[in-house]
Amino acid sequence: MANAVTNLYRLAKAGFVLARNNALMPPEQTDRLPAPARALLKLAQIGKAADATQGQGNRLSTALATLGPSYIKLGQFLSTRPDLIGAQRAFDLKLLQDRLPPFPLDEARAIIRQELGAPVEQLFTEFGPPVAAASVAQVHKATTPDGRQVAVKILRPGVEKRFAADIESFAFAARQMERFSNEGRRLRPVAAVEMLRESMKLELDLRMEASALAEMAENTKDDPGFRLPRVDWQRTARRVLTTEWIDGTPMADVPALAARGLDLVRLGDTVIQSFLRHAIRDGFFHADMHQGNLMVDGSGNLVALDLGIMGRLSGKDRLFLAEILYGFIVKDYMRVAQVHFDAGYVPSHQNVSNFAQALRAIGEPIMDLPADKISMARLLTQLFEVTEQFDMQTQPQLLLLQKTMVVVEGVARTLNPNLNMWMTAEPVVKEWITRRLGPLGKVEQAADAAAALGRAALGLPEMLDEAHRATRMLAEMAKGGGIRLDAETAADIARAQMKQRRWQTAAIFAGAAALVVVALKMVL
């Protein structure tokens, strides 16, 4: 009960900030609200100067940035969920910038000493001011005693506690959505929040980012035109990450890249093909691959930075993605439809031919566009939008993939506006499908199946022993009359549940009333 009131209070404060910035909902929805609700929204905006230059998207981004790190991350996450918040608001949230003022240099030095067990002067001969600051961490340039230039990433003080509290409130709101709405249950907001929670756990432990760098470096060591900064493990801990400093040109500075004489078309292809290799071949991809996290080094290699948010795909998901992309490339819509059913994403009671017909309605208009207008990201977005009519539940792991593909495609098009997505993607997708479904792939799958059977055989004696104990316990219970739930017991349980619900409902109404009073006092 206390947690419910606390979460309601936190959510009410966030709602007040959104309302005060006129970002709670679009004007066309506000106009349909009951008169008392419209009056409260107006009341929240008293004393707040209106900014006519800001559109709805900018107001929403400003409000979320005001609410702090957790809401910035929530906004970035919701930008991948047009099914939850609508296509326009999802697009608006792409304007959200993850930038905050840096925290003081003295605090950064104190965190380094606490985490690494030595003063900054002993670990680095030079340690400069922050060169970048975001919601989770900031980065300093430093020099080690052996003369190497490094980037030192340091978590913000208290950020873990703030995230834990806010994500608990998000989870509370998601549970209410699923509890009271059939559509909410289909969209699975609880699973989405859990995905955000797990993602943030990893992002708030910089040892995990260091490990991701090492794993992806191993996966990509032979990939053309792509590399990652090396980790300095001796100067890395939970709240401090030290890596090689990359001297290069930011991907966002396209004129500077052109001035270096770099082949921008080839570089755009490298961005797309690198991402697809990581996602389809490795099942492990950089899920925050925007321009600010990409550089081009002195050798012309694409260098990925800030691997705090990573995505993983199972073998089934990877095959699903590859088959979908290749199926659309060759316009085999029945093949794409069947993949959805085989993966279990679309319920078996649906008609596969009807689903293929819906896919054709997505694919044909896109395929008829000029090469520079064909968007793989747009295709995936529309693909997820049609799933509602076929009862396809949201797949959270694919949403992260979709969001990243939208970003990656945008980066590539800044380098090459005439990018042909299908021609760029086809070699990577076709190579993986050929390997996976060809003779060599069959041998690898057979080996994997044999290994799985071997592991199961090793555990068989223990499984049989557990089954024997369970059977014996059930037999003993049966001799003693077993466990029965008679009518009186059931009635007692029902009365207890009703009593608990009445107290919970009363507490929530009391908390909501208190919040209204608090909000009015804040305004007046």
Give the Cα separation of 26 and 36 in Å (integer): 17
How far is residue 408 from each of residues 84, 247, 313, 433, 434, measured CA to CA in Å? Answer: 22, 22, 17, 22, 25
C-beta of residue 339 within 8 angstroms of C-beta of residue 432: no
Alpha carbon 461 to chain centroid distance?
Answer: 41
C-beta of residue 206 within 8 angstroms of C-beta of residue 153: yes
Which residue stretches of 189-260 are H helix? 189-203, 206-219, 254-259
Give the Cα separation of 489 and 497 in Å (integer): 13
Joined together, the tokens standing for residue 484 give 């029965």
Give the Cα separation of 188 and 191 in Å (integer): 5
Q: Find residue 166's DSSP bridge partners.
A: none
Joined together, the tokens standing for residue 108 give 């950064």
Which phi and psi (to 5°) does residue 128 adopt? -90, 175
CA torsion, ordered 357, 359, 364, 369, to nearest 10 deg: 160
Question: Token match 């996290």: residue?
Answer: 293
**Secondary structure, 3-state, 22-59:** CCCCCHHHHCCCCHHHHHHHHHHCCCCCCCCCCCHHHH
Nearest CA to 103 out of 77, 134, 125 is that of 134
* Annotation says 368 is catalytic: no
Which phi and psi (to 5°) does residue 117 adopt? 75, 20
C-beta of residue 45 within 8 angstroms of C-beta of residue 20: yes
- What is the H or E stretch that residue 243 is in? strand 240-244
Q: Find residue 130's DSSP bridge partners.
A: 140
How far is residue 496 from each of residues 2, 180, 499, 502, 503, measured CA to CA in Å? Answer: 19, 21, 5, 10, 11
Question: Token match 């550089």: residue?
Answer: 295
Q: Is 158 left (phi over 0), alpha (psi -120 to 50) or beta?
A: left
C-beta of residue 387 within 8 angstroms of C-beta of residue 347: no
Catalytic residue among 83, 92, 98, 288: 288
Active-site residue numbers? 288
